[in-house]
Structure 1
């Protein structure tokens, strides 16, 4: 079968100056003309994505169906194909199901709190004067710019067992020594409370700035008309603001879902300060703490994480597109 012909269209469209400009190169495939220029411009990015994302993903999927270990890498011997044994092992043995449930629950709580907090901050910034809005923006930027490890260390000192500000403040309020020496990280529930505070504190700024930018694009006339029609603030937010912000909310929701399911630094740093790793592991730290060289098992866990993220993202995007088509 001969290759598709490469056509150069010299016929041109007339311009205002009367000259005719040649059409760009295109390839005709089964009667459809495919322009070359856009794909040529996208080629470097596509190649980079294929090398940086596509190749590691393919290798991870292949390793998840083998018993590839560090001895295979050291000796140069090929791994054995084990089928779905790695997937069966992670779901039937060990504490992976509990870690998965903990990670999903934590992801839901973090995402809801960040979205709600970010929207409230965005609405607040639209009502503030220029000076107060600048002050709030600086505070949000400082929280957002702090590295996760540094933020975790600071909050770890605030909740420190012997010298923490929280314990001192609670003892001062209650007028007792009840909270002296109280460890917030030894208990899994209080550990998760501290973790939620840290992640939400650093996650709200991104959502707040994004929502604030989106709120500025809503026509003021529409809000004024709804107010004149007797709509309450909640009704204006639900029936006017939310439809205009649907795409922005979906993007923030997807990004926060991915980020919150992939958290590692904050959890690991808190575990190093006294948390029980066996009862506070999430997918990231659980994957990190697997046996050295168990590449097949870790690859299977990685594939499960990728499938979860893809499924959640696809579900959210699909519902949003369906709602837009119905409007």
Structure 2
């Protein structure tokens, strides 16, 4: 009785024209759906938390909505792009936009430079010093914003500020009674320092973690080729850290363009015109002037600007991925 050759009557044999288990269209569909199933809870929460406010923001920006509409005395009226036309044609709005961009640019540059310097310094100190620095950074980062604002208000106070007292001890310097908030540029510089002080720890810790991944062999090879400290940093360290630097810079731009409590609380809840940024300007229009539609339109324009920043970030990350 002939039992047949090996494998005969036992179905297709993998590697001999048969189909491997789990490689069909159904398996591929399940594999493609798995990431979305895992993301579904997070996406659902985001939709619930952000979906309605964003929808309401867009709706209000195309309507007339003030106190009368808020209390139900009048129905909201659709006005098309009138709110946006009025805002974009207002010179005060463009002054606020320029001020916000300059503020965010200065804060981001200072944050990235100081964060990189702290991260590089940590690579050249002993372990216990590095531990102390990390503890100080985490403590600074974890400090509530209102506490940090209170400390800075005391430091820069015109009558009792410790900074005026310290600087006045320098030869030829007399800043006793100097009001740092008498002018917009000086006051915004103080607020910028407050923002940078709170942002540097995250940047320094993240860059410090990235520096541990820079191969020592590449640094040694660069030094053997005659590169100095700056050459090693420019041609070895920065290219390797570029994805992290791009990510941190983009996040910093988003955060610094969205600054609100630092300006609002530092100016006692009533920021003067020369202290207005996009966030406080939208708040004033909505809750001080009681023009909720214009406030919503300004907030929507801010969102569009931030989406542009995110688009640039995604493009840079895709380029980096293609190069790698």
Q: Which range, TM-score by smaller chain?
A: 0.7 to 0.9
Secondary structure of the residue aligned to 1:100 is helix
Rate the CA distance shift 1:62–1:226 in 2: closer, same or farther, 3 A: same
Q: Tell whether 2:212 aligns with 1:216.
A: yes
Counterpart of 1:18 in structure 2 is none
Superposed CA RMSD in Å reads 2.8
Counterpart of 1:182 in structure 2 is 178
Q: Is the 8 A contact 1:158 1:165 kept in 2?
A: yes
CA distance in 2, matches of 1:320, 1:41: 24
> 251, 274, 292: which is aligned to 1:255?
251
Counterpart of 2:291 in structure 1 is 294
Q: Is the 8 A contact 1:60 1:299 kept in 2?
A: yes
Q: Is the 8 A contact 1:122 1:208 kept in 2?
A: yes
Per the TM alignment, residue 305 of structure 1 is displaced from its structure 2 partner at its CA by 0.7
> 207, 218, 225: which is aligned to 2:221?
225
Per the TM alignment, residue 314 of structure 1 is displaced from its structure 2 partner at its CA by 1.0
Q: Is the 8 A contact 1:27 1:33 kept in 2?
A: yes
Tell me the alpha carbon deviations over residues 194-244 of structure 1, each in whole angstroms, 9 at most, x when there is no partner.
112211111111000000000101111111111112122112111111121
Q: Tell whether 2:38 aligns with 1:47.
A: no
Counterpart of 2:263 in structure 1 is 267
Matching of residues 46-65 of structure 1 within 5 Å: 46-65=43-62
Per the TM alignment, residue 149 of structure 1 is displaced from its structure 2 partner at its CA by 1.4
CA distance in 1, matches of 2:261, 2:63: 29
CA distance in 1, matches of 2:312, 2:37: 32
Per the TM alignment, residue 320 of structure 1 is displaced from its structure 2 partner at its CA by 3.6
Counterpart of 2:234 in structure 1 is 238
Give 5+ residue unaligned stretches, structure 2: 1-10, 15-19
Counterpart of 1:100 in structure 2 is 97
Q: Tell whether 2:273 aligns with 1:284.
A: no
Give 5+ residue unaligned stretches, structure 1: 1-10, 15-20
Counterpart of 1:5 in structure 2 is none
Counterpart of 1:321 in structure 2 is 318
Greater shift in the superposed pair: 77-86 or 258-267:
77-86
Rate the CA distance shift 1:34–1:154 in 2: closer, same or farther, 3 A: same
Tell me the alpha carbon deviations over residues 134-191 of structure 1, each in whole angstroms, 9 at most, x when there is no partner.
1211221222111121111111111111111122223332477x42322111111210
> 118, 129, 133: which is aligned to 1:132?
129
Q: Is the 8 A contact 2:57 2:300 kept in 1?
A: yes
Secondary structure of the residue aligned to 1:290 is helix
Q: Tell whether 2:155 aligns with 1:144.
A: no
Secondary structure of the residue aligned to 1:172 is coil
CA distance in 2, matches of 1:231, 1:180: 48
Rate the CA distance shift 1:25–1:264 in 2: closer, same or farther, 3 A: farther
CA distance in 1, matches of 2:85, 2:128: 58
Point out the structure with max Rg over C-alpha: 2
Secondary structure of the residue aligned to 1:238 is helix
Counterpart of 1:169 in structure 2 is 166
Tell me the alpha carbon deviations over residues 107-133 of structure 1, each in whole angstroms, 9 at most, x when there is no partner.
000001101111111111011111111
